[in-house]
Amino acid sequence: MLNIYSVLAPIALILFVMELSYCLYKKNDFYSFHDSFTNLSTGIGNQLVNLLVMGFVFSFYQPLYEMTPLKMDYSFINMLILLVLVDFIFYWIHRFGHSINFLWAAHSPHHSGEEMNLALAMRASVTMRLTSFFFFWPLAFLGFSPQMIYAASGIQLIIAFWHHTKLIGNMGWFEKYFNTPSHHRVHHGTNEKYLDKNFGEIFIIWDKMFGTFQKEEEEVNFGILRQPKSLNPLVINFHFWSLLFSDFKETNSLWDKVRIWFMPLGWRPKDIKTFRSAVKPLNKNEYDRYSPTSFLGAKPLLIIQLIFCLYIMFLALDMTSSLSLNGRILCGVYIWASMMSWGAILESRSWGLKLSFGKEILLSLILISFNTNLGFYNYSVSILLLLCLISFLGSVFIYQRNRFSLTQYDA
């Protein structure tokens, strides 16, 4: 079975590299290392979540599809109709995702990036993909197969990818009907007039029909009003979930424990005593960007490990390979351990370096001992072992270079 994300991921990476190269050439400061690297790392982790999503879609949607007498064939016209329907449903998922607690918890990690570029497009929430597919089930009743729904969702996602850029200005007549970079920059703004606007992914007509359209009229301040202030992927992905869970634990009302997840943003149980400052729209000069100090010489190591994990990600996404389920699980565990170590290294936390060279040792031992049961190709094992060695030596080098200030930012 073809995993459409194994096709779409290389397209996204190529577009990203093209924009990054152009921005570096122009020296326009559209990319910073901290924010962009964090965007890419969370994107890699999210690709593995798409494997879980695929399993959920096929297992949950297939019975619904078999119940209906309607059966839509895999034609260009039907896929075009399905793409419009997916975009319409997603408009409402997206809109509710900015107003209901549990949906904002799922969606907010994507908005927490403080820049607008194609790296931000990869900053996807690990819970948003799982959450959004709970709402596409009517399409199965209309006769669209789970494979078609999953493919159309992926196509919609890659179409929305190019909107995350500052390089493209107004696009004339195209702006009237379709979402564009200008419209989507508004959507990511924390300016008062831009909050909760432009929810369409492919078509902007949904926003014009339902009163949520806003034209780009002033410089956009990107980010969210309550920033996680962290480069740790777990903190980024579960920042708002943790705030909700804290209120869930603190309230004594059983009814409030239930409804807190479904209430509008800003609502809190009345018996909560923990203070949380109110949020307000921010102008450019009021925004406090999070830019911690990283370990000296860490950038080359982080780039090498990122490329390493991209290779592992594509191994896991390739459903035609002989990689076993245990092998794919190992890929996921290793990538998430890497992401956590990267965030800690970017923030100069000593445990990040220890995790960095510890995971290389563990993966090497597993590959040497159990590779025949994991389904890795022989050449893949050799490449992985070589990259493990390079990453391990790089981590030790950074550790030695920074050994006198390892706990500078440790909490």
Mean pLDDT of 69-88: 93
Question: Model confidence over 296-325: pLDDT tens digits?
Answer: 888 988 998 898 888 888 888 777 777 777
Question: Model confidence over 179-236: pLDDT tens digits?
Answer: 999 999 999 999 989 999 999 999 999 999 999 999 999 989 898 988 888 898 889 9
Dist CA 376 CA 305 (whole Å):
19
> What tokens appear for 410 in the block?
């440790």
Q: Lowest-pLDDT range, 91-100, 242-251, 308-317?
A: 308-317
Query: What is the pLDDT, as a whole number, of residue 283?
Result: 64
Q: Is residue 149 scored above 60 in pLDDT? A: yes
pTM above 0.85, yes or no: yes
Question: Model confidence over 153-184: pLDDT tens digits?
Answer: 889 989 999 999 999 999 999 999 999 999 99
Percentage of the chain beyond pLDDT 90 is 44
Question: Model confidence over 252-308: pLDDT tens digits?
Answer: 999 999 999 999 998 999 998 887 876 766 666 666 777 788 888 889 889 988 988
Query: What is the pLDDT, as a whole number, of residue 376?
Result: 67
Mean pLDDT of 129-149: 88
What is the domain partition of the chain in residue ranges? 5-210, 298-401
Query: What is the pLDDT, as a whole number, of residue 229?
Result: 87
Label residue 372 by pLDDT band (50, 70, 90): low
Mean pLDDT of 361-386: 75
Label residue 410 by pLDDT band (50, 70, 90): low
> What tokens appear for 61 in the block?
């949607």
Q: Which residue has the higher pLDDT, 150 or 401?
A: 150
Query: What is the pLDDT, as a whole number, of residue 398?
Result: 84
> What tokens appear for 307 in the block?
């490329």
Q: Is residue 411 scored above 60 in pLDDT? A: no
Label residue 88 by pLDDT band (50, 70, 90): very high
Relative orientation angle of helices 298-317 and 325-346, to the nearest 10 degrees: 160
Mean pLDDT of 77-99: 96
Label residue 377 by pLDDT band (50, 70, 90): low
List Cβ neighbours of 411 (8 Å cut-off, separation of 6 or more): 349
Q: Is residue 409 scored above 60 in pLDDT? A: no
Query: What is the pLDDT, as a whole number, of residue 296?
Result: 84
Q: Is residue 356 scored above 90 in pLDDT? A: no
Mean pLDDT of 104-111: 93
